[in-house]
Chains A and B, each alone.
Chain A
Amino acid sequence: MDDLGRMDSPIHRIDARAKIIATAAFVLAVMSFPRYEVSALMPLFAYPFALIAVGNLPAGYLLKKVAVAAPFALFVGIFNPLLDRQPMGMIGPVAISGGWFSFASIMVRFTLTVSAALALVACTGIHRLCAGLKMLGLPSPFVVQLLFLYRYFFVIGDEGLRMLRAAEMRSTGARTLAFQTYGTLIGHLLVRSMDRAQRIYRSMVSRGFDGEVRLLRREAPGWRDVAFACGWIAFFAFARSWDLAEFVGRWLSRGPS
């Protein structure tokens, strides 16, 4: 992700604020569709697709990341087909219930929003993103949280993996660790993280930390940035108001009249 954020492309050069605003508008647009909507959401794939294509991002890599988070959305929606059995459409002879539509809608929305968010991080870089959020007026504690979450995720993950490996090496024969062992490991990791937080705080205080993180990014938004945000917002509003997919479908099926 870090390497992606440091690449250069027309999308990378857009001001972080413009991208944040456009992506926030995108998420709002996606969420505002009625619950059974599936086809009308399709044109919105243009946004993550454009970020990935113009930003030269590796689509396969980002898709894998989307897949990692997919189980969460799956569990949110999985019971809809069971609870909502009202038939709403037909595919051939099979009646499709409303539950399946809303489930599909949840999965599509999930894919849209998560891929757009990942593409945003990948084409901006976390530090520019945080600087952008800060300039947009996000309170400092949230920005600091985000920065630190990102910075220490891997450090603490590594620590956890090392502990897990050490525990596995000493549990010869057993195929999985006892449930209790996991509890101890997690507790230990928590204590260690708290100790680390203390040390980090100490090192911040010794360099004059006063609750405000100052990031050195001077970006003046140009007309490109404004055009980027306004253009996409206009597109989202358009896609939200008219069912573009249906329009295109009707246009295609009009036949040679």
Chain B
Amino acid sequence: MSDPMIDITDVCFTYPDGTEALRGVSFRIGHGESVAIVGANGAGKSTLLQHLNGYLAPTRGDVRIGGQAFTRERIAEIRRSVGVVFQDPDDQLFMPTVFDDVAFGPLNLGVPPEEAERRAVASLDRVGMAHLRERPPHKLSAGEKRAVAIATVLALSPDVLVMDEPSSNLDPRGRRRLIELLATFEHTKIIASHDLELVVELCPRVIVLDGGLIVADGPTERLLSDEPLMLAHGLERPHILRHRHPH
């Protein structure tokens, strides 16, 4: 049996100011799985995501990606294999043109310029934004920025896509396009979101966090339909499931 893609064992994390953000979190995510991480504000979602590419190291516990622990030598390779899409695309798109931004990752990996250019073009094509390559990122619409931010990560050919609130700030059409785009990806996906309708559409499995602990982990439809569970942890039962489960 192959290793799970992501293997997290009893991870605790305390910020320097003493805030206990994670208090013993364990889960495994297999290759190609789509998993949502939901929870109220301050539940520990963002802190957890920052452990997945080694930006934060757990104060206790173990994070393994593709069977590998984070070590000084491996961290570059793990960061390539786990692509993180940030909540605010303005934080992710920092280069003068869209093209430079998408090529940034591959060039840092030491990919030759021609190959980096090819990958950048292919990634932009993949998200349907190839026509924007010479544009400065700050002039794009929110939907375009989001798509380009995803392309910057795709250019690294990651195995895992980690997304923090991918649908925030998008208009309904932009959100719909994003969902359709994400549905075409075969990567292992981890999506932290308050947009529970999006979660229902994209992720068969959901992990509910509250107070730095996992309070539930299981099939999306069953957990999100559980009204008492949802309400107890600052969430709600999405409408899309109200109509699907009349009982």
How would residues 204 to 223 of chain A score, 1 for a CB under 8 Å from any chain B CB and 0 otherwise?
11111110111110100000
Number of interface residues of A (CB under 8 A): 31
DSSP majority for the A interface? Answer: helix
* Complex Cα–Cα for A148 and B93 (A): 11
Using Cβ atoms and an 8 Å threshold, which residues of chain A touch B117?
216
* Complex Cα–Cα for A221 and B113 (A): 18
Contacting pair B88 A218 (CB below 8 A): no
Least CB distance from B85 to A in Å reads: 9
Is B91 interfacial (CB 8 A cutoff)?
A: yes
Using Cβ atoms and an 8 Å threshold, which residues of chain A touch B55?
202, 205-206
One of A155, A199, A215, A218 near B86 (C-beta < 8 A): A199
Contacting pair A206 B79 (CB below 8 A): yes
Is A145 interfacial (CB 8 A cutoff)?
A: no
Is A200 interfacial (CB 8 A cutoff)?
A: yes
Least CB distance from A133 to B in Å reads: 13
* Complex Cα–Cα for A152 and B136 (A): 12
Contacting pair B53 A199 (CB below 8 A): no
Using Cβ atoms and an 8 Å threshold, which residues of chain A touch B137?
151
Contacting pair B107 A126 (CB below 8 A): no
Q: Which residue of B lies closest to A126 (CB)?
A: B96
Contacting pair B94 A204 (CB below 8 A): yes
Least CB distance from B169 to A in Å reads: 14
Is A154 interfacial (CB 8 A cutoff)?
A: yes
Least CB distance from A129 to B in Å reads: 9
Q: Which residues of chain B from 88 to 143 have a CB within 8 Å of any chain A CB?
A: 88, 90-92, 94-97, 99-100, 103-105, 107-109, 113, 116-117, 134, 136-139
Interface of A with B (CB < 8 Å)? 2, 6, 125-127, 130, 147-148, 150-152, 154-155, 196, 199-200, 202-210, 212-216, 218
| Minimum-distance CB pairs A-B, first 4 | A208-B108, A127-B96, A207-B105, A214-B107
